[in-house]
């Protein structure tokens, strides 16, 4: 058996080659990989010796040769193929180990030049991978170090790879080629050609939306059904998921997550991640029905639950602090579908053991201080499928700075009111439009969501508060978009609000400002809208 090894990422390659050699497999290799294996004392034949043709053009041409691709593509069961190999002195290659030039990592670096990007487009590697993957019945193709263990296990057990493993390796290889080509296409179709700027040091400007979008997602699992029982569904994740994102979580117990569980859990997790203080978010049907900050997980949960105990039944709960025994004991008194936290104490896990159907998800929070959306655990782009098309937009990752706020009324908000306004504004971002959110003391007091009329959202928020036995007197209100008329302001002030935050930007802003002055409330313009459909 002959194995050809040519890798850019050399993680584990020496140990893998040593194991192959111990099994009596002849090693072929190229360039830096061959040198590394030789330094490790392994007998390696360089591909140039096999092809009788030296590597040339700075290594651009080394494996593009009939003695390589003939050895990979020949079908062993066809006498004519094997006769052709014998006639031309070509040995079969039964195992190919290749990972590609690091194109994705190269273009992800700040200041990557066009020359560097182009030079990291692998040619020989993908060609060999495709040849081996096409001939999967006879050749095992390994494209990732995490496949080494399974390959060695079968070789040690039976001296060859099973059809099942070879086919799985072939599928993984073609997937990798698709990912690689997609990344190259995304990069190049985002670059504007400017001939006068071309040089070895030229760092091109890249369009936010490339000429072709090649989203790559890998399947995590099939789901029982989709949004409704007559629909089918599966969960996919980004090829490189952001740290702290929902798909990086580990389910500790409970039934399989459903389509709706995952959608609601994501809404809750994205919202709770946005708070620095201990926070709890309860979501029902994609909308927060209770959000609060507190001294710890227990106090945050108790406040969030007060907003709308009825809707919280069967909801999704997210915490940005470790769930301890005290908080677990309180939360376990209600029916909850999914409970998420960065960690769970042994006491908390013990409490939920008796509630086997509750899905517990442990998700590490992204590190604070990340410079990019990805490092902060956030999507850089949002997508929405439409009929035979796709809408792409940059994600709504705007973080409101105090310098952006503009007090437009005679009355100035107090420090306490300003804190409540900022809290309400943060929550409103995660509420479906039209959104009206009443808050006070670091908790939601009433949430109105998803109505065609902003007036109806305001009235629903007030009704929700009444049902929960909460008073809206002295509350702060956030509206995700501007009040087009004064009637919306009058409704929230009639309910008890003393201050309001809204984007502003209406033709009738002055009318609404005058109404706020007339009613004696403070109003702040954010200058930013947070529609969420």
CA–CA gap between residue 462 and residue 272 (Å, rounded): 24
Structural domain contains residue 41: yes
Beta strand pairing call for 44-46 and 26-29: parallel
The pLDDT of residue 370 is 77
**Does 354 share its domain with 441?**
no
For residue 377, the model assigns a pLDDT of 86
Domain C-terminal end among 301, 335, 362:
362
Provide the number of structural domains found in the chain: 3
**pLDDT band per the 50, 70, 90 thresholds, residue 291:** very high
- Give the pLDDT confidence of 2-15 residue by residue, as tens digits: 999 999 999 999 99
What is the DSSP track for 243-300? TTSGGG-EEEESSPPPHHHHHHHHHHHHHHHT-SSEEEEEEETTEEEEEEEESSHHHH
**Does residue 493 form part of some domain?**
yes
Stretch 489-499: mean pLDDT: 96
Output the pLDDT for position 52. 76
- Is residue 416 pLDDT above 90, yes or no? yes
Using an 8 Å Cβ cutoff, are 15 and 41 in contact?
A: no
Indicate if 353 and 424 belong to the same structural domain.
no
346 and 247, same domain (yes or no): yes
Q: 192: burial class by Cβ within 10 Å (0-12, 13-18, 19+)?
A: exposed
Distance CA 4, CA 476 (A): 68
Per-residue pLDDT tens over the stretch 159-175? 999 999 999 999 999 99
With respect to residue 61, please indicate whether it lies within any of the assigned structural domains: yes
pLDDT band at residue 59 using 50, 70 and 90 as cut-offs: low
CB contact set of 146 (below 8 Å; sequence gap of 6+): none
CA distance 250 to 264: 16
- pLDDT tens per residue, range 179-214: 999 999 999 999 987 777 777 788 888 888 888 889
Its domain, for residue 102, covers 2-197
Q: How far apart are CA 291 and CA 271, in angstroms?
A: 9
**Residue 467 within a domain:** yes
Q: How confident is the model at residue 67 (pLDDT cuts 50, 70, 90)?
A: confident
Report residue 512's pLDDT band, with 50, 70 and 90 as the boundaries: very high
The average pLDDT across 42-55 equals 82
285 is catalytic: yes
Q: Is 88 a catalytic residue?
A: no
CA–CA distance from 52 to each of 47, 49, 66, 384 (Å)? Answer: 8, 5, 11, 54
Mean pLDDT of 412-432: 96
Average pLDDT value for residue range 140-169: 95
The CATH number assigned to the domain holding 41 equals 3.40.50.1380
Q: Over the stretch 439-476, which tens digit does the pLDDT of each residue have?
A: 999 999 999 999 999 999 999 999 999 999 999 999 99
Q: Specify whether the CB–CB gap between 225 and 231 falls below 8 A.
A: yes
CATH of the domain at 484: 3.40.140.20
CA angle 239, 264, 381 (to 5 degrees): 40
Shared-domain flag, residues 171 and 271: no
Q: Are residues 144 and 268 in the same domain?
A: no
One domain, residues 163 and 269 = no
Whether 399 contacts 389, CB under 8 Å: no
In this structure, the answer to whether residues 441 and 318 fall within a common structural domain is: no
Which entry of 285, 355, 362, 411 is annotated as an active-site residue? 285
Whether residue 32 is contained in a domain is answered as yes
Per-residue confidence (pLDDT) for residue 150, from 0 to 100: 95
| Over residues 218-226, mean pLDDT | 93
Residue 63 clears pLDDT 80, i.e. is over it: no
Average pLDDT value for the chain = 92
Express each pLDDT in 243-256 by its tens digit: 999 999 999 999 99
Whether 462 maps to a domain, the answer reads yes
The DSSP bridge pattern shows strands 475-479 and 315-319 to be unpaired
Active-site residue, selected from the candidate residues 134, 355, 362, 411: 134
Q: Is the pLDDT of residue 380 over 90?
A: no
What is d(CA 357, CA 362) in angstroms, rounded to the nearest whole number? Answer: 16
- 31 and 174 in a single domain? The answer is yes
């Amino acid at each position: 058996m002959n194995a050809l090894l040519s890798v850019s990422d050399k993680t584990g390659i020496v140990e893998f080659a040593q194991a192959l050699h111990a099994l009596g497999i002849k090693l072929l290799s190229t360039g830096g990989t061959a040198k590394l294996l030789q330094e490790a004392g392994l007998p390696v034949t360089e591909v140039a010796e096999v092809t009788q043709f030296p590597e040339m053009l700075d290594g651009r041409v080394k494996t593009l040769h009939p003695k390589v691709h003939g050895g990979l593509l020949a079908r062993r069961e066809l006498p004519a193929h094997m006769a052709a190999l014998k006639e031309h002195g070509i040995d079969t290659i039964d195992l190919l180990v290749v990972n590609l030039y690091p194109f994705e990592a190269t273009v992800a670096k700040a200041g990557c030049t066009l020359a560097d990007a182009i030079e990291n487009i692998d040619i020989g590697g993908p060609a060999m991978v495709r040849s081996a993957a096409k001939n999967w019945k006879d050749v095992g193709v390994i494209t990732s170090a995490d496949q080494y263990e399974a390959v060695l296990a079968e070789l040690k057990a039976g001296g060859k790879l099973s059809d099942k493993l070879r086919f799985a390796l072939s599928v993984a290889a073609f997937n990798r080629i698709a990912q690689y080509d997609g990344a190259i296409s995304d990069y190049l179709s985002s670059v504007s050609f400017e001939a006068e700027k071309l040089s070895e040091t030229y760092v091109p400007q890249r369009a936010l939306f490339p000429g072709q979008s090649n989203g790559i997602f890998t399947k995590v699992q099939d789901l029982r059904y989709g949004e409704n029982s007559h629909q089918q569904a599966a969960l996919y994740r980004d090829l490189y998921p952001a740290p702290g994102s929902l798909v990086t979580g580990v389910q500790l117990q409970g039934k399989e997550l459903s389509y709706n569980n995952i959608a609601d859990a994501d809404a809750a997790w994205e919202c709770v991640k946005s708070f620095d203080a201990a926070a709890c978010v309860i979501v029902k049907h994609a909308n927060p029905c209770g959000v609060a900050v507190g001294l710890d997980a227990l106090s945050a949960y108790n406040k969030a639950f007060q907003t709308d105990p009825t809707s919280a039944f069967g909801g999704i709960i997210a915490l940005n602090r470790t769930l301890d025994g005290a908080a677990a004991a309180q939360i376990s008194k209600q029916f909850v579908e999914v409970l998420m936290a960065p960690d769970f104490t042994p006491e908390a896990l013990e409490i939920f053991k008796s509630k086997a159907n509750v899905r517990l998800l442990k998700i590490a929070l992204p590190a604070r201080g990340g410079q990019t959306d990805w490092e902060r655990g956030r999507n850089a782009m949002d997508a929405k499928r439409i009929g035979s098309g796709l809408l792409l937009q940059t994600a709504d990752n705007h973080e409101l700075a105090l310098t952006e706020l503009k007090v437009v009324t005679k009355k100035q908000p107090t420090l306490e009111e300003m804190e409540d306004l900022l809290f309400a504004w943060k929550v409103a971002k995660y509420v479906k439009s039209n959104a009206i959110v009443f808050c006070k003391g670091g908790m939601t007091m009433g949430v109105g969501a998803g109505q065609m009329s902003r007036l109806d959202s305001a009235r629903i928020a007030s009704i929700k508060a009444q049902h929960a036995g909460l008073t809206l007197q002295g509350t702060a209100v956030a509206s995700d978009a501007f009040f087009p008329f004064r009637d919306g302001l009058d409704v929230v002030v009639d309910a008890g609000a003393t201050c309001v935050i809204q984007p502003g930007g209406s033709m009738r802003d002055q009318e609404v400002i005058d109404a706020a002055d007339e009613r004696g409330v403070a109003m702040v313009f954010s200058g930013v809208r947070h529609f969420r459909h």
